[in-house]
């Protein structure tokens, strides 16, 4: 009996002394690379003294929901869900990644090398891959472009294939399942670097942007000390060799802190799409 | 075809066994392999189909979700996963209208295109009530069979090791049977060569029919061996028995051809092998005088080096004639010896008598030799003595001189007539009646010796009778014997004298020389005959002489040439 009480006390004291922070990941970065995620979280744990647990979701909608319910504390999401859900799901910007030294990226239109498509507008009536319905580069940007050209994407493409992952969109093009795809430029560059045999069969025919990078957001209710500690470690990663090594696995150069207004271009696009009386695809995305 | 069957049947047991084994294995394993292959192929194919269906079934919930949500990419990953299996060439998911949602070859069948054509597996995905789509698979049979090929190869050749084992087994068993049969034949071969002592039981490790057969042969041969030994013993026993007796024994067939003779044939200078197949008649000369009906008859064996007198007996046994010959040359020699001794004793007695007579005759000379002068009476006595001595010596010489026996043909009547005419005068003087009874035949014998016998016997008979008596002569020829009987009705011979009457110089008469009956006896012996005397005092005497003769010439019915 005494032993049981002793073990219970130890467990409780340990759980109290080391606060668990749940870190969410979506298709923004290559979630397949769980090893990289582990290294990243271990690094954070080392630097902050907190214990980190990864939480993966398929879609941004799921992640927003988990954040709103306090089931995820920190998350790597996209600019579009940040803009759309930050008030309803109650989270805020922590840091933004630096790609090639800048907190910006592009939305690429890719196709197979031998295909003769020159623009996203050439894919009329063809199967075309979007990543997450809420992704900026993989959904919002091509929708915006098509709307601007007078097309509704769900009618323009036959059909839109949602892969919920930029890297899967790249594979869908590679296998010829879709004729083209809109993907995150950072992910594409990463695939080009890690899997040249795939990238060599593909080509980028258009690049839209630049757009503000996919941010790391934090639940608003979380302790300010935690926010501070995390922001400090993340921003300082690029100055630390171990940190740099982990950053390079994500093809990033570091993290920086930006103001909420940095995401205004995305806000503008969302406003345009809403005004175009877009029939929500959210229903589909949420199922 | 028949020749082929005959040839196949004549193959060695081993070859037949081996071929049977192989044929059996081939007959069972080849169809079996075929059936197993067919069955395995079917099972393998069905398993492939089933495992693919199972894969689809296990993912059915997901697939339903993907279809409802039009999650093309997940469906694509699914069909790609399916075609990654070697058995599947094409995989496609279509919606309820048959439009492609995801095809493993998207360039050929993009999303929304119609999918037709034959499929091997069509698995419908059901919604609440109706089918909302289906998963269709086209199988790559080539790759299925390619996957199955090693199994098929193994099954096809699975009979091979059994065939090989059966071959080896067949060869081994056949070798074993052959060697065992050889051992049996080898043991019998030894016996066949006559080496019965080496009869050994052949024993195998296998206690099977071959062992039974070997045992059967062994017991049979053993029984035969005992039987043979008994026969052999009996044969030796009887052979020895036959060889211990004195007779020469021949066994001939009905025609008299010799096929067996005992060891005694060596005594006549032959071996059995020399005589086999010869006729017994060529080996003996029969005495024609003897009756064939006699059980024994005297024959001459024509031996290799000499002729041997023998008694021949004959017994018919079934189809055989058993002929025995007893050598009687010893007996003949003994008879000869006896006769010679008799003659010698006669001579001895004669000499003693002769010496006695001579001494008596010399007595006057001996007495007178002491006298100075001889008277006339003395001279007459000396002369008489000398004359008596001279006569004695001459008689002796005449008796002792060998008389050549010359045989001629003569008439019995004439010879009796001649003799009777010599004594007729003397008989008339005494008033004795002569009675003659003679067979009128011609015989071959010594006329001279028979004349001497007749003269002496008849003159003795006449001397023995007084006036009014009778003297008779009867001469008969009975077969090969001449029988002469001379009888008288005279005084007879006293019993005490009967034994001595044939001694030379023994006489009861005053005037007799004492040599008459000796000469008769001598002549009878010279003619190989015999003489017998019956006498009764006061009644008379009869002499019976038997003389063997060769052949009778003529008879009473033939013209009398005497």
Least CA distance to B107: which residue of chain A? A176
| B546 in any annotated domain | yes
**Number of structural domains, chain B?**
4
Q: Which of B327, B356, B388 finishes a domain?
A: B327
DSSP A133-194: TT-IIIIIHHHHHHHHTT--HHHHSS-EEE-SSHHHHHHHHHTTSSSEEEEEHHHHHHHHHH
**In the predicted model, what is the mean pLDDT of residues B267-282?**
84
Tokens linked to A257: 């802190």
With a cut of 60, say whether residue A283 has pLDDT above it. Answer: no
**Lowest-pLDDT choice from A6-15, A131-140, B38-47:** A6-15
CA distances from B303 to B257, B270, B307 (A): 17, 8, 5
Same domain, B531 and B431: yes
**In the predicted model, what is the mean pLDDT of residues A181-194?**
88
Same domain, B426 and B535: yes
| B221 in any annotated domain | no
| B360 in any annotated domain | yes
Instruction: Give the C-alpha separation, B211 to B540, whole Å.
Output: 98
CA distances from B152 to B30, B35, B139 (A): 13, 11, 19
Q: How many CB atoms lie within 10 A of CB B40?
A: 17
| B4 in any annotated domain | no
Same domain, B287 and B372: no
**Lowest-pLDDT choice from A47-51, A235-239, B32-36, B250-254:** B32-36
| Residue B92 pLDDT class (50, 70, 90 cuts) | very high
Same domain, B425 and B540: yes
What CATH number is attached to the domain comprising B147?
A: 3.30.450.20
With a cut of 50, say whether residue A287 has pLDDT above it. Answer: no
B69 touches chain A (CB under 8 A): yes
Least CA distance to A164: which residue of chain B? B73
| Residue A254 pLDDT class (50, 70, 90 cuts) | very high
Least CA distance to A170: which residue of chain B? B73
pLDDT tens by residue, A207-224 = 997 999 999 999 999 988
User: Which range in A181-190, B10-19, B191-200, B419-428 is most confidently predicted, on average pLDDT?
Assistant: A181-190
Q: B183 CB contacts (<8 Å, ≥6 apart)?
A: B202, B204, B214
Instruction: Give the C-alpha separation, B304 to B330, whole Å.
Output: 18
* Buried residues in B284-305 as b, exposed as e (16+ CB within 10 A): beeeeeeeeeeeebbbbbebee
Same domain, B423 and B534: yes
Domain, as residue range, for B342: 333-400
> Do B106 and A176 form a contact (C-beta atoms < 8 A)?
yes
* Buried residues in B202-238 as b, exposed as e (16+ CB within 10 A): beeeeeeebbeebeebbeebeeeeeeeeeeeeeeeee
Q: What local confidence, expressed as pLDDT, does residue B558 receive?
A: 39
Are A168 and B73 an interchain contact pair (Cβ–Cβ within 8 Å)?
A: yes
Are A127 and B107 an interchain contact pair (Cβ–Cβ within 8 Å)?
A: no
**In the predicted model, what is the mean pLDDT of residues B171-193?**
83
Pairing of strands A202-212, A180-184: unpaired
Q: Which of B130, B157, B184 finishes a domain?
A: B157
Same domain, B278 and B147: no
| B148 in any annotated domain | yes
Same domain, B487 and B430: yes
| Residue A3 pLDDT class (50, 70, 90 cuts) | low
All residues of chain B having their beta carbon less than 8 Å from the beta carbon of residue A175 are: 76, 80, 106
Q: What local confidence, expressed as pLDDT, does residue B173 receive?
A: 82
pLDDT tens by residue, B318-357 = 888 888 888 887 887 787 777 767 766 766 766 777 777 7
Are B110 and A127 an interchain contact pair (Cβ–Cβ within 8 Å)?
A: yes
> Do A105 and A115 form a contact (C-beta atoms < 8 A)?
no
Angle subtended at Cα B336 by Cα B332 and Cα B341, rounded to the nearest 5 degrees:
145
Domains annotated for chain A, with CATH where assigned, are 2-99+214-256 (3.40.190.10), 104-212+267-286 (3.40.190.10)
| B89 in any annotated domain | yes
Same domain, B414 and B311: no
Same domain, B481 and B379: no
Q: Which of B296, B327, B358 finishes a domain?
A: B327
- Give the minimum alpha-carbon distance from A61 to chain B in angstroms, rounded to a whole number: 16
| Residue A4 pLDDT class (50, 70, 90 cuts) | low
Q: What local confidence, expressed as pLDDT, does residue B288 receive?
A: 65
pLDDT tens by residue, B346-373 = 667 667 777 777 777 787 787 778 777 8
- Percent of chain A at pLDDT > 70 equals 88
pLDDT tens by residue, A68-127 = 999 999 999 888 899 989 888 889 999 999 988 899 999 999 999 999 999 999 999 999
| Residue B559 pLDDT class (50, 70, 90 cuts) | very low
| B219 in any annotated domain | no
Please give the ipTM for the structure prediction. 0.80
Are B73 and A177 an interchain contact pair (Cβ–Cβ within 8 Å)?
A: yes
| B486 in any annotated domain | yes
Q: B544 forms bridges with which residues in the sheet?
A: B485, B532
- Percent of chain B at pLDDT > 90 equals 3
Same domain, B375 and B480: no
With a cut of 60, say whether residue B185 has pLDDT above it. Answer: yes
> Do B95 and B132 form a contact (C-beta atoms < 8 A)?
yes
Are A159 and B111 an interchain contact pair (Cβ–Cβ within 8 Å)?
A: yes
With a cut of 90, say whether residue A201 has pLDDT above it. Answer: yes
All residues of chain B having their beta carbon less than 8 Å from the beta carbon of residue A176 are: 106-107
Q: Which of residues 100-129 of A touch B (CB under 8 A)?
A: 126-127, 129
**In the predicted model, what is the mean pLDDT of residues B97-122?**
88
- Could you tell me the sign of the dihedral formed by the alpha carbons of B341, B347, B350, B356, in that order? negative
Same domain, B295 and B430: no
A161 touches chain B (CB under 8 A): yes
pLDDT tens by residue, B460-511 = 888 888 878 888 999 988 878 888 999 998 888 887 777 777 776 666 665 5
């Amino acid at each position: 009996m005494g032993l049981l009480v002793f073990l219970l006390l130890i467990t409780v004291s340990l759980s109290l002394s080391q606060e668990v922070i749940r870190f969410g990941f979506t298709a923004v970065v290559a979630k397949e690379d769980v090893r990289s995620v582990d290294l990243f979280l271990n690094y954070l744990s080392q630097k902050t003294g907190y214990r980190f647990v990864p939480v993966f979701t398929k879609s941004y909608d799921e992640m927003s929901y988990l954040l709103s319910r306090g089931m995820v504390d920190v998350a790597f999401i996209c600019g579009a869900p940040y803009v759309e859900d930050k008030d309803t799901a109650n989270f805020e910007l922590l840091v933004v990644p630096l790609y090639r030294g800048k907190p910006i990226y592009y939305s690429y239109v890719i196709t197979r090398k031998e295909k003769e498509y020159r623009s996203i507008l050439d894919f009329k009536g063809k199967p075309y891959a979007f990543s997450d319905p809420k992704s900026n580069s993989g959904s919002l940007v091509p929708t915006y472009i098509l709307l601007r050209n007078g097309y509704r994407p769900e009618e323009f493409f036959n059909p839109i294939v949602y892969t919920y992952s930029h890297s899967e969109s790249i594979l869908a093009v590679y296998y010829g399942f879709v004729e083209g795809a809109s993907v995150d430029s950072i992910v594409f560059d990463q695939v080009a670097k890690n899997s040249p045999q795939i990238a060599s069969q593909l080509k980028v025919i258009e690049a839209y942007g630049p757009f503000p990078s996919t941010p790391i957001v934090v639940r608003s209710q979380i302790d300010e000390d935690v926010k501070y500690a995390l922001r400090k470690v993340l921003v300082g990663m690029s100055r630390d060799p171990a940190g740099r090594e982990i950053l390079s696995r994500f093809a990033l150069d570091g993290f920086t802190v930006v103001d909420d207004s940095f995401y205004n271009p995305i806000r503008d696009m969302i406003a345009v799409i809403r005004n175009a009386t877009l029939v929500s695809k959210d229903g589909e995305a949420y199922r | 075809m028949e020749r082929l069957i005959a040839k196949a049947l004549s193959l060695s047991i081993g070859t037949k066994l081996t071929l049977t084994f192989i044929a059996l294995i081939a007959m069972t394993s080849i169809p079996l392999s075929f059936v197993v292959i067919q069955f395995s192929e079917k099972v393998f194919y069905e398993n492939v189909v089933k495992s693919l269906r199972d894969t689809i079934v296990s993912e059915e919930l997901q697939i339903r979700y993907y279809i409802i949500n039009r999650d093309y990419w997940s469906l694509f990953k699914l069909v790609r996963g399916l075609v990654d299996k070697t058995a599947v060439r094409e995989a496609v998911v279509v919606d309820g209208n048959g439009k492609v949602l995801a095809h493993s070859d998207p360039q050929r069948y993009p999303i929304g295109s119609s999918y037709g054509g034959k499929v091997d597996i069509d698995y419908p995905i059901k919604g609440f009530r109706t089918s909302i789509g289906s998963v269709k698979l086209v199988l790559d049979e080539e790759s299925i069979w390619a996957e199955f090929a090693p199994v098929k190869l193994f099954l096809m050749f699975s009979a091979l090791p059994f065939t090989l084992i059966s071959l080896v087994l067949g060869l081994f068993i056949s070798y074993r049977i052959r060697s065992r049969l050889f051992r049996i034949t080898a043991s019998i071969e030894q016996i066949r060569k006559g080496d019965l002592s080496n009869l050994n039981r052949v024993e195998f490790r296998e206690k099977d029919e071959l062992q039974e057969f070997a045992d059967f042969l062994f017991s049979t041969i053993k029984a035969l061996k005992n039987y043979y030994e008994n026969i052999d013993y009996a044969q030796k026993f009887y052979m020895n028995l036959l060889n211990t007796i004195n007779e020469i024994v021949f066994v001939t067939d009905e025609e008299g051809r010799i096929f067996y003779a005992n060891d005694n044939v060596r005594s006549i200078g032959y071996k059995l092998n020399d005589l086999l197949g010869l006729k017994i008649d060529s080996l003996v000369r029969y005495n024609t005088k003897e009756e064939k009906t006699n059980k024994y008859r005297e024959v001459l064996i024509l031996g290799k080096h000499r002729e041997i007198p023998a008694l021949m007996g004959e017994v018919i046994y079934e189809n055989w004639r058993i002929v025995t010959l007893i050598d009687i040359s010893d007996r003949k020699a003994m008879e000869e010896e006896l006769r010679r001794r008799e003659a010698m004793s006669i001579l001895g007695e004669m000499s003693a008598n002769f010496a006695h007579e001579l001494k008596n005759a010399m007595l006057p000379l001996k007495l007178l030799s002491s006298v100075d002068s001889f008277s006339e009476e003395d001279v007459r006595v000396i002369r008489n003595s000398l004359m008596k001595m001279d006569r004695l010596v001459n008689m002796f010489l005449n008796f002792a001189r060998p008389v050549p026996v010359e045989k001629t043909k003569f008439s019995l009547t004439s010879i009796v007539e001649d003799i009777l005419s010599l004594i007729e005068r003397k008989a008339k003087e005494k008033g004795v009646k002569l009675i003659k009874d003679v067979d009128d035949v011609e015989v071959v014998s010594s006329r001279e010796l028979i004349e001497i016998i007749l003269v002496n016997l008849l003159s003795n008979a006449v001397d023995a009778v007084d006036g009014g008596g009778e003297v008779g002569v009867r001469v008969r020829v009975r077969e090969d014997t001449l029988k002469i009987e001379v009888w008288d009705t005279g005084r007879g011979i006293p019993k005490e004298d009967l034994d001595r009457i044939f001694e030379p110089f023994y006489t009861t008469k005053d005037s007799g020389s004492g040599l008459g009956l000796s000469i008769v006896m001598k002549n009878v012996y010279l003619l190989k005959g015999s003489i017998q005397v019956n006498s009764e005092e006061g009644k008379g005497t009869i002499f019976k002489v038997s003389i063997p003769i060769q052949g009778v010439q003529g008879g009473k019915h033939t013209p009398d040439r005497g």
